[in-house]
Amino acid sequence: MMISIKNIEKHATPFYYYDINLLRRTLETVCKNASRYGYHIHYALKANFDKRILEEIKNFGLGADCVSGGEVRASVEAGFDPKKIVFAGVGKRDDEIIYALEKGIFAFNCESLEELEVINEIAGRMHTHATVALRINPDVDPQTHKNISTGHADSKFGIAYTEIEEAMAKIDALPNISIVGLHFHIGSQILNLDVFKNLCSRVVSIMSWFSEHGIEISYINVGGGLGVDYIAPETNPIPDFDTYFKVFHDNLPLKEGQTLHFELGRSIVCQCGTLISKVLYNKKTASGKNFVLIDASMTELIRPALYDAYHRIENLSNKHGNEVYSIAGGVCESSDIFARDIELPITKRGDYLAIRSAGAYGQAMASNYNLRPLPESVYSDSFIDF
C-alpha cells in the first residue's frame, strides 16, 4: 500500500519506503512455489541489503547469495545459516576468502582456474577444507540490457565451458578443495522465459559431460535473473514464480540426490520499494521543455542513468491536470534524469513524487557522490494509520 502524505511529511526526503506486507506476500509466494519442486533459494543480497529487509527474508528460511566479504558478513549478522550461504564474484579478495572460510559457508562459486588455486592455498594455510562450485559461463543470450548480461561467451564472468576439463583436473590435484556442484547465472531482468529454457538445455548438456566422466554433481545453482513488471507495478506486484519454476521443472530433470538452487534478488525485493522525493523546482528550456527538479538524484537511484531504466513515477500530492515533464535530480551529471517527457498531473514545488519498483538495486547502489547523504529507509509497519 502506498504511504500517505501525512506519513511522508514525518520524514525528510528523499527516502526509501518499503511495503513490508508486500515483501512478505512475495516471500510467501516464492517459497510456496519453490517448495512444490523441492527447490532452494538463496537471496541475492546485492539487490538490497537493508537490515530490516534481510531480517524478513531470513525469517522465511532462505539462504544467501553473496558477492563480497561485506555481504557474507551482513548475511551472517542477519542470522542466515552459514550452511546456506554461497559466495560468488569474479574478484574475491584473500581477506574475503579467509572470512568466508572462518564462517564455514556452504560453497564458493568459483569463477576462474586461478581462483581455485588461491582458495586451495588459503584453505591449506587455515588447516581447513573448502567446498566449491564451478561457475560456468554457458554462453546463453539473456536478451536483456547489455550492462546486466553475464552469460555470453566473452563476458568476464564464470569459467569458460571449454575449460571444464582443465578445471576438474586442477580440482583433483588440489588437496584442500572439493567440488560440490555447478553454478550458472546469465543475467538479470529477464522477462522472456524461453531464455531460461535455453539455459536449462545448456545445463543438461554440461551435466552430461560430468556424468560421462563419472563425476557426481549434487548441487546445481542456476542463479537469478527473473524480471519484474516496471511498467505496471500495481497490476503485477508479485512476479510469476509459478511459471518460472515450472520452466526448470519441465526442462532440467534432476537425478536422485541432486538439488536445484536459485539466487533470486530483484524478483523478491523490487516491487516492495519506492523512492519518495519532493519537488524542488520547475523550469523550462529554450525549446519549451518542462523540467521538474526533485530532491532525489542518481545518488539515490542510479538505474535510469546507468541502464536507461524505466521506473514509473507518480505525483502523490496532486492528481489533477496534465503536463509533459522530464524529471531530473540535482547532481552535476547530464545523465541524472529519472524520466524524459512523461505525462504527470500538474507538478509544483513541494509536491511528493513516488518512484516505483525501486526496492532492487536502488538503495543498494546509492552513493555519496557530490557528498550527498545516503538515503534512509522507512517501513510501512512503522505507521499505524494505514
| 3-class secondary structure, 54 | helix
Q: Give the span between the Cα atoms of 354 and 360, in whole angstroms.
A: 15
Name the H helices within 285-328. Answer: 303-307
Site for ligand LLP in 312-331 (CB under 6 A): none
* Nearer to ligand LLP (CB atom), residue 292 or residue 302: 302
* Nearer to ligand LLP (CB atom), residue 7 or residue 363: 363
- Please report whether residue 148 would count as binding ligand LLP according to CB under 6 A: yes
14, 142, 223, 359: which one binds ligand LLP (CB under 6 A) = 223
Closest by alpha carbon to 311, among 363, 356, 272?
356
Site for ligand LLP in 344-383 (CB under 6 A): 361
Grid coordinates given for 11:
520524514
116, 132, 186, 264: which one binds ligand LLP (CB under 6 A) = 264
84, 92, 202, 266: which one binds ligand LLP (CB under 6 A) = 266
Q: Return the residue matching grid coordinates 533459494.
A: 41
| Interface characters, 38-57, with ligand LLP (x: CB under 6 A) | ------x-xx----------
Q: Give the span between the Cα atoms of 277 and 3, in whole angstroms.
A: 12
CB of 149 to ligand LLP, least distance (A): 10
Measure CA of the first residue to CA of the last residue in the chain; give whole Å: 8
- Please report whether residue 224 would count as binding ligand LLP according to CB under 6 A: yes
- Please report whether residue 273 would count as binding ligand LLP according to CB under 6 A: no
81: left (phi over 0), alpha (psi -120 to 50) or beta: beta
- Please report whether residue 86 would count as binding ligand LLP according to CB under 6 A: no
Which span (19-27, 160-168, 258-266, 375-383) binds ligand LLP, by CB under 6 A? 258-266
- Please report whether residue 142 would count as binding ligand LLP according to CB under 6 A: no
* Nearer to ligand LLP (CB atom), residue 126 or residue 193: 193
How many residues sit in the footprint of ligand LLP (CB under 6 A)? Answer: 22
| 267 φ/ψ angles, rounded to the nearest 5 degrees | -65, -20
- Please report whether residue 92 would count as binding ligand LLP according to CB under 6 A: no
CB of 375 to ligand LLP, least distance (A): 16
Closest residue to ligand LLP, judged by C-beta, is 224
7, 26, 188, 363: which one binds ligand LLP (CB under 6 A) = 188
Name the H helices within the chain. Answer: 5-8, 20-35, 51-59, 69-77, 94-103, 113-125, 164-173, 194-212, 241-251, 266-269, 303-307
Q: Decide: residue 123, CB within 10 A, 0-12 exposed, 13-18 middle, 19+ buried.
A: buried
Which span (6-14, 16-24, 28-36, 260-268) binds ligand LLP, by CB under 6 A? 260-268
Which span (19-27, 259-267, 289-297, 347-355) binds ligand LLP, by CB under 6 A? 259-267
DSSP state of 188: S
DSSP per residue over 109-155, as a string? EE-SHHHHHHHHHHHHHTT--EEEEEEEE------S-GGGB--STTS
Q: Give the span between the Cα atoms of 109 and 87, in whole angstroms.
A: 6
CB of 88 to ligand LLP, least distance (A): 4
Question: What are residue 75's DSSP bridge partners?
Answer: none
- Please report whether residue 225 would count as binding ligand LLP according to CB under 6 A: yes
CB of 270 to ligand LLP, least distance (A): 8
Which span (248-256, 265-273, 288-296, 341-349) binds ligand LLP, by CB under 6 A? 265-273
Which span (28-36, 112-120, 211-219, 223-231) binds ligand LLP, by CB under 6 A? 223-231
- Please report whether residue 189 would count as binding ligand LLP according to CB under 6 A: yes
14, 151, 239, 265: which one binds ligand LLP (CB under 6 A) = 265
Q: Helix-strand-coil percent breakdown of the chain, rounded to 5?
A: 35, 25, 45
Q: Give the span between the Cα atoms of 350 and 329, in whole angstroms.
A: 15
Grid coordinates given for 251:
526442462
CB of 66 to ligand LLP, least distance (A): 10
Binding site for ligand LLP (CB under 6 A): 44, 46-47, 65, 88, 148, 150, 185, 188-189, 223-226, 263-267, 303, 307, 361
